Chains A and B, each alone.
Chain A
Amino acid sequence: MKIKSILLSILLLISLLSLSSCFETIEEINLNNDGSGRMVLTFNGSQSKAKLASIMKLKSVNGHRVPSIPEINSELAQTAAQLKAIPGISNVKTNADFQNYIISVSFDFKEVSQINQAFSKMLTAYKIPTYNAATYVYNKSTKTFTKTYQLNPATKKQYNELKQEDKDVFKSAQYTSVYRFQSLVKSVANAKASVSASKKAVMHKTPILNIVNSGASVNNSIQLQ
C-alpha cells in the first residue's frame, strides 16, 4: 500500500514538473439548407496522452479530483440521455477512446436553435452557468448562419482566480470550429476564419486563451449564396 502511494506521489511530481498540457477541442457543424444538420464535438488529448494516463492513475491533481474511466463513461451516457430528450435531436452518439484520450459527442438536429437548447441543458447538468454557452442562429430566408459568444466577466474572473498550475493547462490548448454547408459561402464576418477551396466550409482555429481573453474572437456570421 505504501509502495503504491509512493509511486502515485512520484507520478504526481512528474506530471506537475512536466509543464503545460496540450489538447484541442473541435466543434463541427454540417448544416443543410433547411436548417437541419449534425454537430460533432471532440476533445482530443492524445498529444498529452502519456501525461493524462499518468494523471488517471491518481485520485487528484492540483487539488482537483481525477474522474475514473467508468465515471467518465457514465457522465457521457448521461449527456447522451439528456440530449436525446430534447425534441428535434436524434442519432446521439458518444465515444470515449482511452487509447488516445479522444472523447466525442455527436447528434443530429432539425433546427439550429436545438443546438442552443442542447448546450444549455448540458451546461446546466454540469452546473456551469448557461451564460457560458454560445448562441447559434440560422436564418433560412437570408441564408445567414451566426455564432455569437458573449464572454461573461464572471467567466474571466473565474479563470483569473485559477492557480497558475491550473492556468497552465490552457496555455497550449486549441479550439477549432468547422462549419460545412450545402450552399456556397458568400461572405465571412470573422477575418481570422478561412473558407475551404470548395467554398462550402469555414474553419477557424484559435488558442483557447484567446476565447478566455476575448469571447468575441470566436464570433462569426456566415452569409451563404
Chain B
Amino acid sequence: MKKLYYILLCGIMVPVAAKAQQSAIPAPRDAKFVLEYNLPFIFTQTSPERLNLSEIGSQMYEALLVKNKNYESEPDINKSGIDHSRKAYMHIVSTDSIEYTVRLLPVKNMDLFKQSIEINAKTEQSKVDKGTFYNLKYRDLAFIPNAGDYAVLVSSSSTYKAFDDSARAERWGIEYDKGYGWDGATTTEIAPPEEWDTTTEAYAVADAAEAVPVEVEIAPPPPPVVSARDAAREAARAASEAAEAAAEAAAAVADTVVYTEGYDEDDDAVDSAASAVEYTYNDSEYEAYQSKKDSIFNIWMKDFVTGFVNENKDSYSRLQQLKDFEAPQKNSAATFYMNSMGFNVRDLYGMYGFFGMNRYNKNQEAVKLNDNWSMIQLNFATDAIQLNATSRLTDQMSKSSNRIYKRKFNKKFNKYINSQTDIGVMGMAMNTKNYLEETPVIVKEVMSTFGAWADESALIADLFGIVIDEKAIGKVIWGDGAFVMTNVKEKEYQSIKYKWDEESYESSEEEVTEKEMLPNFLLMFDTKDEAIIKKILDFGVKKNAYQVNNNIYVAKKLSGRYDPFEYFCTVKDGIVFIGTELQEIENIQKGIHRGSVSGADKKLMKNNAVFGWFHPKRLVGKFAQSDDDNLKMIRVNNMLNSLGVMQFHSGKVKNNKVKADFNLMTPNSRANSFEYLMYLIDDLKHL
C-alpha cells in the first residue's frame, strides 16, 4: 500500500496523473502561493460559451490560465486548447534571488494551445529527454512533454536582486555596475549554474535580440558531474557570446535606420544626432547586460522545470506534506494556499525593506519559518457563494488565540440589535484581559520569525506586560461588543455659495441648506467598571469636550472642522453606548429596547467569536437622487436589490486551525450561484 501511494505521489506533479489523483495538489511544499482551478466543477456550473460572454469570466480565464494569449479576434475559450475536464494549477516559488510563477495546464488540443501562447515554427526551442522547451515572449518559458497532454508555463519575476550577491554575480559572469551602460562593454564568461547537479540536463541558451535569432547547439545530456559542468559552462558561454553578438548586431542595425516619413532634417538635425550618439552607446551596453541576464534566467527556469518534471528526487516535498493539510472541497471552483514555508527574508521585508530592517539582515539569512499555512476556497453552494478560509497556527498562537476569544457574546446586546431593520451588524466576543496578557507573547512569536530584533522586541513586550494593568483595563473594556449600522437618513447642512453683485461682480457669501443621505451607527461594548467610564466622560465635560444632559453625553464639534456626524454616549446596565442618533440613545436611557434578533442570527452570535451580516437590499433607494445621473442611480439600486445577505463569522481555534467564512446568499431567483457571481461582477464593473 505504501509503495502504491509513493508511485501515485510521484506522478502528481503532472496534470495527466492528477486525473487519477483529483485531490492531490501538484505543487512543491515550498511554494509560497498555490492555486487550484477546479475546471471540471466550473464547467458543470457554466459552459465555455457562457464564460466567454461574461467579461470577468473570460478575463479570469485568460489571465489565470493562458498568460500569453494570442487570440486573433475576440477571445474564445474554446480555442485555448485546454482540457476542461481536468484541474489546472498555478504556484509561485520564491528563491533568494528569483521568483518563479508556474502554471500547470491540462491540454486537450496541443495545436490550439500552442497557437494561444504564440508557439509557432519560428519559436526558439530546445528538445530534452522528456519534452521540448519553448522560449516565449517576455522571457517566459513553456515546457511541453512528449506525450503532449499537459503544459508547463513558467515566468520569472522579482529578478531585480538576482545578482545583488557579488559572489553569485561573479559566478555567473555578471558585473552589476555595468548594467546601466555607464562604462564600456564587458567581456565575461558565464560560469555553470550554482545548483547544477547530475540529474540536471544542460541547456544551451541563445537568448539573443528577437530581430537576430542565433542558433546554438544543445549540449549533450551530462553523464558525470565534471563533464556536465563543463558542458554547461561551454553552452552558457556560447549563449553569452551569442547574446552579445546579437545585441551588437541589433545596435548596428539600429544605427542605420533612416526615418523617411514626417521627419524634418532642418528642424532636428543637431539635436537628434547628439542624442543618437549618447543613447545608442548606452542602450547597446544595457541591452547586452539584460540579454546576458535573460540567458541566465532562462537556464535557471529550465533547470527549475526539469527539477519538478523529474521530481522523483528525495528532496522534492509536496504541498500535501504540510502539517494538517486540508484538500479543497468538491464544490470549490478555486482554492488558494499561502504557505509560510515558501517565504524568505526578502518576501517578508519587501522590495526596499520594511522600515529599512533588511539592512540588518542579509537576504540569504534563513527565516525561522513555521508550518503555518492558510487556505481560501471559493465555493459555490446551491444558495450561496462562499469564501471559506482556514489558517493553521502554531501551538503557541493557537493557545493565545483561544485565550483571547474565551468569551461569549453578551445576550443583553440582543435588546439593541434588530435583524429585521438594521442594515449591518458586526459583533465580537473577546477577553480584553487575556488579549493584553497574550499580546507580548504574540509579539515575541512574530518577531522571532523575522529573525530581527528578537531581543529588543522581547524586552519591549515584557515592559508592556509590566506597564499595562491587564486586569484593570479588562474590567473597563470587558471585550465583547457590537457595531450596528442602524439606518440611512437624510441630514441637513449649511454650505456656502457665492452671490455675485450685478453691478461690480463683487462676491458675497450666502448660506444654503443642503441635504445628504448619511448612515447612523450604534456602537456598544460591555464594561464591568461603569464608574471609571463615567469619570472619563465627566472629565471630558469639565474640559469642554462634551456636554451632558439626562446622562447622555454629547460630543462637542471640533472647532474649525466640519463633521457630518453627531456623537452621543450613555452608559446603561453595564453597557457603554455610542451612537450618531439622539433618539436611539434617549430610548436606550429610557429602557426602550429596539432589538429583535432572528433565530439564525442568534445562532451565529452564539457559535462565533467574530460575526457579522449586511443587508445590501436595505440600502435601495436610500441615496440622493441626482438629476443628471438618474440612470446611474437606477443601476446602483438594481445592483443593491440583486444582492443577497452577506454574512461572515469566525470561531475558535480547533486542532491548531481557525476558520473564517464569508457567505453571499444568492437570491431565490438565481439557481446557479457561479453564474450569479460572474454576472454580478460584470454589472459592478459597469456601475
User: Real complex partners, A and B?
Assistant: yes
Interface residues, chain A, with chain B CB atoms under 8 Å away? 2-3, 6-7, 10-11, 14, 17-20, 24, 26, 28, 44, 46-47, 49-51, 53-54, 69, 97-102, 171-172, 176, 178, 180, 196-198, 200-203
**B491 adjacent to chain A (CB < 8 Å):** yes
Contact among A24, A46, A171, A176 for B628, CB-based, below 8 A: A171
Contact A53 to B562, CB < 8 A, known contacts A17-B636, A19-B626, A200-B504: yes
Question: Residue on B with the closest CB to A200?
Answer: B504
Contact among B496, B505, B563 for A203, CB-based, below 8 A: B505
- For the complex formed, measure the closest distance between the CB of A177 and the CB atoms of chain B, giving whole angstroms: 10
Name 16 interchain pairs, CB-CB below 8 A, sorted by A.
A2-B428, A3-B483, A6-B612, A7-B483, A14-B488, A17-B619, A18-B516, A18-B624, A19-B626, A19-B633, A44-B497, A47-B497, A47-B512, A97-B560, A100-B496, A171-B628
Interchain CA distance A7-B632 in the complex, whole Å:
25
Question: Residue on B with the closest CB to A3?
Answer: B483
Contact A101 to B562, CB < 8 A, known contacts A196-B502, A198-B503: yes
Interchain CA distance A102-B428 in the complex, whole Å:
40
Residues from chain B with a CB closer than 8 A to the CB of A11 are 519
Residues from chain A with a CB closer than 8 A to the CB of B561 are 53, 69, 98-99
Contact A100 to B629, CB < 8 A, known contacts A46-B496, A49-B495, A197-B503: no
- Pairs A-B, 5 closest by C-beta atoms: A201-B505, A46-B495, A50-B516, A50-B564, A46-B496
Say whether A49 contacts B493, CB under 8 Å. yes
- For the complex formed, measure the closest distance between the CB of A197 and the CB atoms of chain B, giving whole angstroms: 5
Contact among B521, B560, B612, B636 for A7, CB-based, below 8 A: B521
| Majority DSSP secondary structure for residues of B touching A | strand
Q: For window 483-506 of chain B, which residues contact chain A by CB distance below 8 Å?
A: 483, 485, 488, 491, 493, 495-498, 500-506
Interchain CA distance A18-B519 in the complex, whole Å:
12
Contact among B514, B563, B628 for A47, CB-based, below 8 A: B514
- Number of interchain pairs (Cβ within 8 Å): 106
Residues from chain B with a CB closer than 8 A to the CB of A178 are 500, 505, 507
| Majority DSSP secondary structure for residues of A touching B | mixed
Interchain CA distance A11-B518 in the complex, whole Å:
9
Question: Residue on B with the closest CB to A28?
Answer: B507
Contact A47 to B495, CB < 8 A, known contacts A17-B623, A98-B562, A180-B505: yes
Say whether B483 contacts A6, CB under 8 Å. yes
Q: For window 615-648 of chain B, which residues contact chain A by CB distance below 8 Å?
A: 619, 623-624, 626, 628-629, 632-633, 636
**B517 adjacent to chain A (CB < 8 Å):** yes
Interchain CA distance A6-B496 in the complex, whole Å:
32
Contact among B493, B496, B506, B629 for A102, CB-based, below 8 A: B496
Residues from chain A with a CB closer than 8 A to the CB of B624 are 18-19
Contact A180 to B562, CB < 8 A, known contacts A10-B519, A47-B497: no
Question: Residue on B with the closest CB to A49?
Answer: B562
Question: Residue on A with the closest CB to B481?
Answer: A3
